[in-house]
Structure 1
Amino acid sequence: MIENFVSAVNNVLWGNGQVLIIMLLACGIWFTVKLGGVQLRHFGHMFTLLKGSNKSTKDGISSFQALCTSLSARVGTGNLAGVAVAISLGGSGAIFWMWMIAILGMATGFAESVLGQLYKVRDENGEFRGGPAYYIKQGLNKTWLAVAFSLCLFFGYGFVFSAVQANTITDALNNAYQFPSEYTGIAIIALASLIVIGGLRGIARFAEFVVPFMGIGYVLVALGITFINISELPAMLMDIIKSAFGLQEAGAGALGAAIKNGIQRGLYSNEAGSGSVPHAAASAVPNPNHPVSQGYIQMLGVFLDTMVLCTSTAFIILLAGGSSSEQMEGIRLTQDAMSSHLGEGGTDFVAAAISLFAFTSVVANYAYGESNLHMFKLDNRAGRAAYTIGYLGMIYWGAQAAMPQVWAMADMALGLMTVINIIAIVWMTPTIVSISKDYFAKRDRGEKVEYKTGDCEIQGKSEDGIW
């Protein structure tokens, strides 16, 4: 009965209805136009802001920690298993559509992160918290919609997504070393508990240390494999383009599969528009002290996740001869591809990489759910304890569940969150445009870029004393 319900919802959101694909494409185009192609026009500025992004205070984490925390959640199964799923179901052309949704998604990620930072609040410890529920409540005065989003987020990031990550870790380790799933699940729970007990700051410190190390290491391996197979690169790129537009023998059916799976898995990986990243953006102390600075920082996260890390996995699989198949293949396709390049050590490398990638997501997902406890006045010891127990229980369940079942529940949770968030941010376009123009104008005039309440018109009002 539950499976039938999940399947029916996903069919509307992702399947025949294709509601989300249309919404995401339209939203990305909308904000690209409204913000003047900010992701292309100010591409270099994203990297410039990284220079002063390591300052934190008692109020919040640093911008760099916020970026690493959001990348911790983004960089997981989507980058290794998700890319493999996209290729197995949609062929190599799915990668092109993954790139397209990332470029458009950069504008969407910019918009939602600006709102997350603008409407942030202080929790009972005086630390910054925020996200879609908070900007929906304060900016649109729609408490019921804010509560609906929070419930979807608790279901998704608080519980189901961590089950997906745990499922991929156990599958990878079982495939490589025949480790029993239940024991791997217990080990994940033990390690996650040690980190999440430190709250958002503990998670941010962990992410700041681990994410750069694992990201750079993975990209270097992918570059090495690409260089070794450089003669095959032109043909592979041509195959991606041809497959993306249905120019192969399979025709229109393959085109539809490429678009659907590329966008679906691309969103799952970079999370642009889903409403997750604004939680990390809201927790940061921005530098310069303006909400738009976090828009740039988190826009960079979309680029790094999809255009760099997902592309690395795609090249590894395609250069090994990977292609579409009749069944949904996940992390094992990536392991097999790596083994064809690196021999027996390939499986070991992917098992280690996916375990680290997915584990950072497990930990960061906790932070997103925890940020919404304040919405229900549960950011206290009892509320956090109840949330933590449920979160850890879902990790154990996910470690042993069947893969299609877990992915289906993850798709539903992500889809429902995304629908609510996209409606909200499009509704709040006047605020996004107004505050972005304030930043652009101050920067162009060479003034100190800083935001104070009243500098520009916004919908609703931000919390007193925040700005």
Structure 2
Amino acid sequence: MQAFEKVLGAIGDIVWGPPLLILIVGTGIYLTFKLGFLQIRLLPYSLKLAFSKSQDKNSEGDISHFKALMTAMAATVGVGNIVGVATAVVIGGPGALFWMWMSAFFGMATKYGEAILAVKYRVKDANGQMAGGPMYYIEQGLKMKWLAVLFAIFGSIAAFGIGNGTQSQAVAGVVLQTWNIPTWITGVILMVVAALVILGGIKSIGNVTAFFVPIMAAFYLIAGLIIILTNLPAIPAALGLVFSDAFTGSAVAGGAIGTVIRYGVARGVFSNEAGLGSAPIAAAAAKTDMPGRQALVSMTQVFIDTLIICSITGLTIVMSGLYDSGLEGSALTAAAFSEFLGGAGPVVVSIGLIFFASSTIFGWAYYGEKCFQYLFKNPKAIYIYRILFVLVVPIGATASLDIVWTFSDVANGMMAIPNLIGLLGLSGVIALETKKILAKIKEEKNGVTSSDEAA
């Protein structure tokens, strides 16, 4: 098993090496310029649209813009926002936070492109529900079904690791450490909760995440904002260190600037998943009259996840000065929060981690089942997948998952490759649909609205 793990680790290093990171960020840069820096021009409009509950309520789709966004946020905001950021700052130094921001900025264009294609090429399944994502726009848009099948295979496998086992393990670990509750008890509770949410399908997941995600995000953000607002004099120095270290790598042994960039970009991508092709699966379920409208909503996910939530974690760690203390992962984040919140610090991080990881299980269950459905077509396959997914939760909470994590890491990377090929190959479609939504927005500003908006 150790030899197998080493082989997987070597494959993971290759898959997540500089070529793929350059391809992911490069795709974001390309789309950013092709779309005229859309993420700057339309971010205020996108945020307003994302939190509108009446928008497109009578349009075709399964769930609202907001619920589609919250489902994607549930899957994206996870262990990476606490553990991933800490890892990036420890290995890459404070400057890694800057490169996380850069990957997120360009990732917003990538996420926009993914969602626009997901809605454009979505179909109705045998149950009358929407099905979409990279497998559909690769098959229908690029006419490369073999590549779509590869994406679906890797997506359905990765969901069990990154979106399930590793998340339940993180929750069980922090509950054991903080409250001394045995991991198997946590695993059983998580399984029951997951079953109640996941077995009901996307509408159930959407309803739960629409309530759950804003609360969990607000809880963590409020704690972070208390730290920042009560330590405003320390912010300029922290930001100065982030920016200076981003281009010198002085905080890394030997001044390895490449290490700063690599870990900043890599952890940014893991955090917001821009380019992996997971979130557009949820976007395809949204009620919308235009692909570009849901794409603008999806774009805000990266902004909230990385530029806000990850920044809270990163700046707190940098201000604490503990990034070179030898602590790692959630222990480092908890210690950093303790520097400013005292004994409440570890509790805040523990509760945040529980919320973040649990919600990731809900979101990734939907991603995995849609990939599985694409492969097997039979609607009953979805229910088989859901049951298997729920049963893995307690196993993940109690088992050692080093190999599962590494294997899922590889599967995530392999998901990204066909998805990025699809994005680049269909960039013309993305641009065309963008012209349509820009024209629609112009009409709205001039007082012209669609019938469902007027209603």
Q: Is the 8 A contact 2:94 2:251 kept in 1?
A: no
2:123 equivalent in structure 1: 121
1:339 equivalent in structure 2: 338
Deviation larger for 432-441 or 127-136: 432-441
Query: C-alpha root-mean-square deviation of aligned residues, in Å?
Result: 2.1
Partner Cα distance (1:428, 1:322) in 2: 45
Task: Choose the corresponding residue for 1:409, options 407, 410, 418.
Answer: 407
Task: Choose the corresponding residue for 2:386, options 372, 375, 388.
Answer: 388
Deviation per CA, 1:87-139: give whole Å up to 9, x if none.
12111111110000000000000001000011111122211121100111111
Aligned residue pairs, count: 444
Deviation per CA, 1:1-30: give whole Å up to 9, x if none.
431332122121224xx1221111210111
Q: Is the 8 A contact 2:219 2:352 kept in 1?
A: no
Task: Choose the corresponding residue for 2:235, options 233, 236, 256.
Answer: 233
2:395 equivalent in structure 1: 397
1:463 equivalent in structure 2: none
1:260 equivalent in structure 2: 262
Q: Is the 8 A contact 2:151 2:418 kept in 1?
A: yes
Task: Give the drift of 1:249.
Answer: 6.1
2:224 equivalent in structure 1: 222
Q: Is the 8 A contact 1:10 1:411 kept in 2?
A: yes
Change over 3 Å in CA distance of 1:255–1:401 after alignment to 2: farther
Change over 3 Å in CA distance of 1:251–1:81 after alignment to 2: closer
Task: Give the drift of 1:336.
Answer: 1.8
Task: Give the drift of 1:438.
Answer: 2.1
Deviation per CA, 1:199-246: give whole Å up to 9, x if none.
110000000001111112211111111122222211111111121112
Deviation per CA, 1:240-272: give whole Å up to 9, x if none.
112111252647643222211111111111011
Give the TM-score normalised by the residue count of structure 2: 0.92
Task: Give the drift of 1:416.
Answer: 0.8
SS of residue in 1 equivalent to 2:82: helix
SS of residue in 2 equivalent to 1:319: helix
Identity %: 34
Partner Cα distance (1:249, 1:354) in 2: 27
1:41 equivalent in structure 2: 41
Change over 3 Å in CA distance of 1:247–1:50 after alignment to 2: closer
1:436 equivalent in structure 2: 434
Q: Which amino acid letter does the alignment assign opposite residue 395 of structure 2?
A: W
Q: Is the 8 A contact 2:35 2:431 kept in 1?
A: yes
Change over 3 Å in CA distance of 1:54–1:85 after alignment to 2: farther
1:462 equivalent in structure 2: none
Partner Cα distance (1:154, 1:449) in 2: 40
1:312 equivalent in structure 2: 312
1:351 equivalent in structure 2: 350
Task: Choose the corresponding residue for 1:81, options 80, 83, 108.
Answer: 83
2:374 equivalent in structure 1: 375
Q: Is the 8 A contact 2:172 2:183 kept in 1?
A: yes
Change over 3 Å in CA distance of 1:253–1:409 after alignment to 2: farther
Q: Which amino acid letter does the alignment assign opposite residue 387 of structure 1?
A: Y
Task: Give the drift of 1:443.
Answer: 3.0
SS of residue in 2 equivalent to 1:336: helix
2:114 equivalent in structure 1: 112
Please state if 1:135 is matched with 2:129: no
Q: Is the 8 A contact 2:199 2:387 kept in 1?
A: no
Task: Give the drift of 1:47.
Answer: 2.0
Change over 3 Å in CA distance of 1:410–1:159 after alignment to 2: closer
Q: Which amino acid letter does the alignment assign opposite residue 203 of structure 1?
A: I
Change over 3 Å in CA distance of 1:145–1:449 after alignment to 2: farther
Q: Is the 8 A contact 2:96 2:263 kept in 1?
A: yes
Give the TM-score normalised by the residue count of structure 1: 0.90
Tell me, which stretches of 5 or more residues in structure 2 are unaligned?
451-455
SS of residue in 1 equivalent to 2:345: helix
Q: Which amino acid letter does the alignment assign opposite residue 150 of structure 1?
A: A
Change over 3 Å in CA distance of 1:448–1:228 after alignment to 2: same
1:206 equivalent in structure 2: 208
Partner Cα distance (2:12, 2:249) in 1: 28
SS of residue in 2 equivalent to 1:179: coil
Change over 3 Å in CA distance of 1:249–1:285 after alignment to 2: closer
Q: Which amino acid letter does the alignment assign opposite residue 396 of structure 1?
A: P
